[in-house]
């Protein structure tokens, strides 16, 4: 893999993308024939803007989880609602083939081509409402997608989705449980793919700006670890323990990474990093709870 990345560095100089359309056209041309984790890595390696490295990992995770849904087109998972994303918080309903509800956080907002919506039905399974995942094309009748801005990831829209008696056909309802088969494992998958993408972005900086051999090699080791984690079951305790260990290794590298960014990277990269590096710490509380549960299942 490193040989292919080095070849890419020689053939494709880094550029600043001016829009998500500009980035997505280059991204899908670059990664169309690659497996999802390599889409994350090669996509991130081709970026010097954190927002688009993040999108490379996020879209790669969606391609892995939903390989038949709008391949090579922007997608978004719609889980979060006003009270969160836990099964008990889901109020969006699918009853009599109609969706009703409100989703509060859609990555890429109105730029996505296809939405994957977690909802509950009027059926009860194991004492709780059955949850399903529904495929919904952008612009479906009786839906409204409203964009909003964050204080970071400025290049990427974010949206809220309202659904009112939106008709759903049987083929739009994915098989299995919407939470345990999709939303829950996607959290782990997303952490792996997005982590791989932004560390690939940093590996490009390390290679092109001659960071120390040790630091470059450690970033590459982290990428290798993340790539191989996808060979394990996403919900297995050992997967979560190994992922957490990789996260800890990366955190130990961060002081050296930031010193090198300050000393060698462009002013644009420095400013972008300072604005968006908070993305690394998102979901810390959830990751800690996941790790504690994994340790208790394996070692107690």
Cα 229 to Cα 4, 73, 189, 269, 275: the distances in Å are 20, 25, 9, 29, 29
Query: Which residue shows structure tokens 């090198």?
Result: 260
Residue 172: count of CB within 10 angstroms of its CB: 18
Domain count, the chain: 2
Same domain, 223 and 282: yes
* In a domain? residue 96: yes
Read off the pLDDT band of 271 (50, 70, 90): very high
pLDDT at 2 over 90: no
- Residues 19, 114: one domain? no
pLDDT of residue 112: 96
What length is written for the chain? 300
pLDDT per position as a tens digit, 158-211: 999 999 999 999 999 999 999 999 999 999 999 999 999 999 999 999 999 999
Mean pLDDT of the chain: 95
Structural element, H or E, at residue 108: none
Strand (E) positions, 60-185?
75-78, 93-95, 98-107, 114-125, 128-137, 143-148, 158-167
Q: What is the token pair recorded at 140?
A: 């479906």
pLDDT band at 282 (very low <50, low <70, confident <90, very high): confident
Task: Summarize pLDDT for 122-152 with one digit per residue, the tens.
Answer: 998 888 899 999 999 999 999 999 999 888 9
222 is a domain residue: yes
Q: Whole-model pTM?
A: 0.96
Q: What is the pLDDT of residues 38-63, one digit of tens each?
A: 999 999 999 999 999 999 999 999 99
Binned at pLDDT 50, 70 and 90, residue 285 comes out as: confident
32 and 85 together in one domain: no
Question: Is residue 93 in a domain?
Answer: yes
Domain boundary among 149, 173, 197: 173
- The verdict on 79 and 117 lying in the same domain is yes
| Residue 262 pLDDT greater than 90, yes or no | yes
Same domain assignment for residues 196 and 295: yes
The answer on 146 and 110 residing in a single domain is yes
Q: Which of 109, 142, 173 is the last residue of a domain?
A: 173
Query: Is 1 a residue whose pLDDT tops 90?
Result: no
Domain that holds residue 132: 75-173
The answer to whether the CB of 228 falls within 8 A of the CB of 196 is no
Residue 69 lies inside a defined structural domain of this protein: no
Token couple for 198:
């932004």
Residue partners of 259: CB distance under 8 A and separation at least 6:
none
- Say which residue the tokens 């290794």 belong to: 249
Tell me: do 144 and 229 sit in the same domain: no
Q: Which of 114, 148, 173 is the last residue of a domain?
A: 173
289 and 261: one domain?
yes
Is residue 70 a part of any domain in this protein?
A: no
Pair 95, 57 in one domain: no
**CATH code for the domain of 133:** 2.40.110.10
Q: 194 and 48, same structural domain?
A: yes
87-112: pLDDT as tens digits: 999 999 999 999 999 999 999 999 99
DSSP H or E run through 218: helix 213-229
pLDDT in tens, 8-19: 999 999 999 999
Mean pLDDT of 242-247: 96
């Amino acid at each position: 893999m490193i040989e292919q990345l080095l070849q890419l560095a020689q053939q494709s100089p880094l550029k600043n993308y001016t829009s998500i359309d500009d980035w997505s056209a280059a991204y899908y041309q670059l990664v169309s024939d690659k497996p999802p984790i390599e889409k994350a890595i090669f996509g991130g390696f081709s970026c010097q803007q954190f927002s688009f490295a993040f999108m490379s990992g996020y879209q790669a995770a969606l391609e892995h989880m939903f390989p038949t849904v709008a391949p090579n087109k922007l997608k978004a998972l719609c889980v979060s609602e006003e009270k969160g994303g836990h099964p008990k918080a889901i109020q969006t309903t699918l009853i009599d083939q109609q969706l009703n509800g409100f989703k509060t956080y859609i990555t890429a907002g109105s730029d996505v081509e296809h939405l994957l919506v977690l909802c509950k039905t009027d059926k009860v399974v194991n004492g709780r409402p059955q949850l399903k995942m529904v495929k919904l094309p952008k612009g479906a009748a009786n839906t409204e997608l409203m964009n909003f801005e964050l204080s970071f990831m400025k290049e990427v829209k974010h949206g809220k989705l309202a659904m009112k008696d939106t008709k759903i056909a049987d083929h739009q309802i994915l098989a299995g449980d919407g939470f345990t088969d999709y939303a829950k494992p996607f959290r782990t998958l997303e952490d792996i793919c997005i982590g791989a993408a932004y560390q690939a972005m940093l590996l490009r900086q390390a290679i092109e700006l001659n960071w120390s051999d040790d630091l470059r090699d450690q970033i590459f080791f982290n990428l290798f670890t993340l790539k191989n984690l996808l060979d394990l079951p996403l919900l297995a305790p050992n997967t979560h323990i190994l992922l957490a260990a990789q996260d800890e290794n990366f955190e130990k590298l961060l002081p050296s990474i930031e010193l090198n960014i300050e000393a060698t990277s462009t002013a644009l990269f420095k400013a972008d990093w300072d604005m968006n590096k908070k993305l690394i710490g998102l979901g810390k509380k959830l990751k800690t709870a996941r790790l504690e549960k994994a340790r208790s299942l394996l070692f107690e």
